[in-house]
Amino acid sequence: MRKFVLAAAMAGTALTLAACSETAEEADTPTEEAAADTEAAAEETAGVLDANTATAEDLAGVEGVTPELAEAIVAGQPYADVTGLNAVLLANVSEEEAAAVLVNVFVPINLNDASAEAIGLIPGMTDRMVHEFEEYRPYEDMAEFDREIGKYVDEEEVARLRTYVTL
């Protein structure tokens, strides 16, 4: 999965370079610095697999996911929301192990209609933060989410939370 994310990030960088450069030749030969920046960005955003699209092979590479658990997760696809994924996890592993898996495997929740239970499954959520997520509904866009939730947590935490949510 990380290779896929890295390839996607590199492709995006190549397209950006092509759009910004004066000649196509410049876009075909990204600098070592640009490649290093792309790799660093890919590592920062890699990490949370969408349980609805992940394959058993993708899941087997995640810490805490056995081949049997990976097959159980895939067998339950598609999930209406993360609570369905959590039910499959709890049927196969302990609550602590399920919580550990949810750090890296998740079904992104829609900010405007997710239940409090689904929001609460975001790793590291507290009851107060669940309330804050709900208080600012409806969200017009992710910038509004960043601004409103950024009142309670730092920028790094907002970025982490964004990996679990969608509009």
What is the structure's pLDDT at 40? 37
Q: Give the residue numbers spanning the domain of 6.
A: 2-45
Query: In this structure, are 55 and 101 located in the same domain?
Result: yes
Query: In this structure, are 147 and 123 located in the same domain?
Result: yes
**Separation of alpha carbons 145 and 149, rounded Å:** 6
Domain boundary among 106, 128, 145: 106
What is the structure's pLDDT at 46? 54
**Separation of alpha carbons 153 and 160, rounded Å:** 11
Query: In this structure, are 102 and 113 located in the same domain?
Result: no
pLDDT tens-place string over residues 45-85: 457 999 999 999 999 999 999 999 999 999 999 999 999 99
Query: In this structure, are 91 and 128 located in the same domain?
Result: no
What's the pTM value of the predicted model, to 2 decimals? 0.71
* Ramachandran region, residue 122 (left: φ > 0; alpha: ψ -120 to 50; beta: rest): beta
The CA distances from residue 43 to 23, 25, 37, 111, 114, in Å, are 29, 27, 10, 25, 28
Query: In this structure, are 121 and 158 located in the same domain?
Result: yes
Query: In this structure, are 63 and 84 located in the same domain?
Result: yes
Contacts of 125 (CB under 8 A, 6+ apart): 119
Query: In this structure, are 119 and 156 located in the same domain?
Result: yes
pLDDT tens-place string over residues 86-120: 999 999 999 999 999 999 999 999 999 999 999 99
